[in-house]
Chains A and B, each alone.
Chain A
Amino acid sequence: MENKPKLKLAVYWGAACGGCCVSVLDVHEALFDVIAAADLVFWPIALDFKYKDVEAMPDKHIDITLFNGAVRNSENENMARLLRQKSNILIAYGSCAHMGGIPGLANMYDKASLFRRVYIESESTVNENGTLPQPRYEVPEGVLTIPEFYNDVRTLDQVVPVDYYLPGCPPQTERLVEVFMAVVKGEALPPPGSVVGAREKTLCEECDRKKSDNKVIKKIYRPWEIYDDGETCFLEQGVICLGPATRGGCGARCIKGNSPCRGCYGPPSESIDPGAKMMSALATMIDAKEPEEVEKILEDLADPSGTFYRCSIPASLLRRKMIT
């Protein structure tokens, strides 16, 4: 171990909340193993390195980059391209980089309507001139630039090729440590494009709640509308839980906190659309044979895309709301 050169590790955030970076900090005492094996060469949330330091690195200088966050603006995109060029292994870390995540919900709107809401209409805004952010603005002192805000939120792999995906919102730190130690020990890595740090089977496999084979839903409830008994499968209580269409590996954290699964780990590898499988599964459970009855039960489903694609609109087949 002594003579082995240390791995160079980078962590970067695109359109993210910072939770993924915190999940890296959450390695706790395993941090000693991490820093014994790796040098952190770039990590904006924790270390003072500049973009120009990364630009100065030779290509493929970084061994592993954990890229969290979606691609929302030109800064995210440029950094994604730069880090791809400088990294041997680029990992889409967390739901946003993997599938678009919560920022991806903005794909239900377009740039014009988002700007209108945020910079003009919002209750706390006073903007009499209707000023909107401009990527380039000339002032007497020179030209000011800010990143360009794109119309669509994209996943990391819609911008650059990605080697591995480590899903979760945020990923379970234990899974990160497992993956990291596998690289350190030089274990054989799965083929590029694989999801690592998650299971192939669905969350239901590792969920402790009581399940029967015959699930019937007569009424859909939102979690706050019922008293959860704490032990029966959420779906059997009429609460939509994305467990049947979501990879395991998270340790059923949400379920253990008495909250249904939101699907942050993404779909198992065979399915190409995250929410479609859940719609398919849910439809089999609905207890109705007449169109009117079906419609009646579905009335309580307030927001299909936000329910089935909460963390994955940009990675879904449709990718965004069709605004023409």
Chain B
Amino acid sequence: MEFQPKIIAFLCNWCSYTGADLAGTSRIKYAPNIRVIRVMCSGRVDPTFVLKSFTEGADGVLICGCHPGDCHYHEGNYKCLRRYHLLVKYIEQMGIRPERLRLEWVSASEGKIFAEIVNEMVQTVKALGPSEVKTVVETLT
């Protein structure tokens, strides 16, 4: 059976969640591998959330926020951007493929783009196989 990755998607309430909603109401089909968690702002995505997703068995984490300049709280998505770059650096050092973590800007009108991003990410993570964290956790003494 083909490997079906689990991807946790943190979507900001104001743009990306509405964008994902639009994909749904527009009946756009996309891969069913994501588990959506709505947050008020991409700036609310604490690095802990991402790391916990990986330790609890996620094969990938997708964070979506408003386009730069469009944040409902002015600066939240910039904070998310910096955390994302810092986290990528950290997880790469810890032996997790950086492609497993992705940050995208999705506005409320970009349902189609959201679906494309999800499909693309599912393809990428499928090619990578199950998360390194899952394999290593089993070997811990």
Could you tell me which A residues sit within 8 Å of B by CB distance? Answer: 150-152, 154, 271-273, 275-277, 279-280, 282-284, 286, 288-289, 291, 294-295, 298, 301, 303-305, 308, 316-324
* Residue pair A304, B55 in contact (C-beta under 8 Å): no
Q: Return chain B residues, CB-CB under 8 Å to A289.
A: 68, 78, 81
* Residue pair A279, B54 in contact (C-beta under 8 Å): no
Which residue on A lies nearest to B46, using beta carbons?
Answer: A280
* Residue pair B79, A284 in contact (C-beta under 8 Å): yes
In this complex, the interface size class of chain B, counting residues with CB under 8 Å from chain A, is: 20 to 34
Which residue on A lies nearest to B103, using beta carbons?
Answer: A291
Q: Return chain B residues, CB-CB under 8 Å to A320.
A: 94, 136, 140
* Residue pair A295, B94 in contact (C-beta under 8 Å): no
> For the complex, what is the distance from the CA of A282 to the CA of B47, rounded to whole Å?
11
Given contacts A322-B94, A322-B136, contact A272 B89 (CB under 8 A): no
Q: Return chain B residues, CB-CB under 8 Å to A275.
A: 90
* Residue pair B86, A151 in contact (C-beta under 8 Å): no
> For the complex, what is the distance from the CA of A305 to the CA of B91, rounded to whole Å?
9
| Any A CB within 8 A of the CB of B126 | no
* Residue pair B93, A151 in contact (C-beta under 8 Å): no
Q: Quick one: CB contact mask for B100-113 with A, threshold 8 Å, 1 for yes? A: 00000000000000
Given A280-B48, A280-B83, A324-B132: 20 more A-B contacts, CB < 8 Å: A151-B141, A271-B48, A273-B48, A276-B47, A279-B86, A283-B82, A289-B81, A294-B82, A298-B89, A304-B90, A305-B94, A316-B51, A318-B55, A318-B94, A320-B94, A320-B140, A321-B95, A322-B135, A322-B136, A324-B135
> For the complex, what is the distance from the CA of A190 to the CA of B135, rounded to whole Å?
38
Which residue on A lies nearest to B85, using beta carbons?
Answer: A294
Secondary structure call for the A interface: mixed
| Any A CB within 8 A of the CB of B22 | no
8 contacts between A and B (CB under 8 A): A151-B139, A154-B141, A271-B48, A280-B48, A284-B82, A294-B81, A316-B51, A322-B95
* Residue pair B89, A276 in contact (C-beta under 8 Å): no
User: Which of A154, A282, A304, A318 lies at the interface centre, i.e. has the most chain B CB atoms within 10 A of its CB?
Assistant: A318
| Any A CB within 8 A of the CB of B133 | yes
Secondary structure call for the B interface: helix
> For the complex, what is the distance from the CA of A321 to the CA of B132, rounded to whole Å?
10
Given contacts A272-B52, A286-B82, A294-B81, contact A308 B136 (CB under 8 A): no
Cβ 8 A contact of B93, one of A150, A317, A321? A321
* Nearest-Cβ distance from residue B44 to partner chain A, whole angstroms: 10
* Nearest-Cβ distance from residue B129 to partner chain A, whole angstroms: 10
* Residue pair B90, A279 in contact (C-beta under 8 Å): yes
> For the complex, what is the distance from the CA of A286 to the CA of B48, rounded to whole Å?
19
* Residue pair A276, B141 in contact (C-beta under 8 Å): no
* Residue pair B141, A150 in contact (C-beta under 8 Å): yes
Q: Return chain A residues, CB-CB under 8 Å to B48.
A: 271-273, 276-277, 280, 317
Which residue on B lies nearest to A71, using beta carbons?
Answer: B141
* Nearest-Cβ distance from residue B90 to partner chain A, whole angstroms: 4
* Residue pair B140, A152 in contact (C-beta under 8 Å): yes
| Any A CB within 8 A of the CB of B96 | yes
Cβ 8 A contact of B141, one of A152, A305, A316? A152
Which residue on A lies nearest to B95, using beta carbons?
Answer: A322
Q: Return chain A residues, CB-CB under 8 Å to B136.
A: 320, 322-324
| Any A CB within 8 A of the CB of B87 | yes
Closest 8 CB pairs between A and B? A322-B95, A322-B132, A283-B82, A276-B47, A283-B83, A276-B48, A304-B90, A317-B51
Which residue on A lies nearest to B82, using beta carbons?
Answer: A283
Q: Return chain B residues, CB-CB under 8 Å to A277.
A: 46-48
* Residue pair A279, B52 in contact (C-beta under 8 Å): no
* Residue pair A279, B83 in contact (C-beta under 8 Å): yes
> For the complex, what is the distance from the CA of A319 to the CA of B85, rounded to whole Å?
21
Which residue on A lies nearest to B136, using beta carbons?
Answer: A322
Q: Return chain A residues, CB-CB under 8 Å to B140.
A: 152, 319-320
> For the complex, what is the distance from the CA of A320 to the CA of B141, rounded to whole Å?
11
* Nearest-Cβ distance from residue A113 to partner chain B, whole angstroms: 12
Which residue on A lies nearest to B140, using beta carbons?
Answer: A152
> For the complex, what is the distance from the CA of A320 to the CA of B93, rounded to whole Å?
10
